[in-house]
Structure 1
């Protein structure tokens, strides 16, 4: 994917802080690094789905150049109950995310938009947004999905969606191998690593001595 001048990065994710989890921690780090590089970001997400924490619907930080929309959605334990049921999980997370992202994007079409979809459900929404608006799409995969019972039909849909992305980042060799095995273009695939915030996490030997 060629460099884009002054991009607006639109993050699509069902999960974002103050919800708690690995994806949320990674996105906090990612958006912080992007802000330090003086790039503009918009995050389109849900209110916390797996915790009872509340968060404002709209926040904007002029200095960090980041805007966050947290749309209210059904939470409780529903996500975990549907995690091993791909179609119901898709219906729970994806259509609503696509609809709100579509309308927000309509107001930002003068910008050089790059969609960054986090997870498979967001990738479906990103695929449709790329098709409609003809803007680049980056996808992050956060799981190997080897324990999720995808049907052959669903795997074909995943292959179609991901092969339309411009770049796909995944965090393990197992996930990389699975994506290649279902027919994802290997030239679009790459590994990424999580950052470690040493102000919050220390090696065990240092923790014990402090």
Structure 2
């Protein structure tokens, strides 16, 4: 007699419970087994603090109503609290956001005083950033000109972001939440880059040639080199 395949697996961790929900069976079969698994007294409500539950649904797409239904089945009358429902499926909006984050936005212009240039992804600016001008990117910033204003890389929290300029003489550099003000004693430098130290989180400014030692992921397009 063959054993019936389980569609719901519950695992305990030091942080709570993980519910692994099969992504190949029908949605109705999944709910039926989920009801059965949670019908034991072990999961009934008590005076104990709520146990955190992470639900993993694999490559199954859940509508908002289905997510609410699963949440209700797990938590109703039980001391269980959903922390997150994890799905490997991306919505169109999430896929578009990932595409934007991985792109390089190339612009040829001068960012003048008082202007703010803000992009999603990496910014390659062929031109200058004048004093009191600002450039911002969720990723890296590369200025093929003079950077004399403000540059803010990784403005949504990416501490791995870098800032490079053909002529580095900014009023201020920002990476994620860290800020570096340029003092009068700091001289402008050609072909310089800035990044955050992985351990201390402090700003490091050095020649762009050294950047690859700290951010090897910048060589992600090596496979596209054509051998002559």
What TM-score, normalized to structure 1?
0.23
Query: Which structure dedicates a bigger proportion of its chain to helix?
Result: 1
TM-score by length of 2: 0.22
* Higher RCO (CA < 8 A, seq sep 6+): 1
Structure with the greater alpha carbon radius of gyration: 2
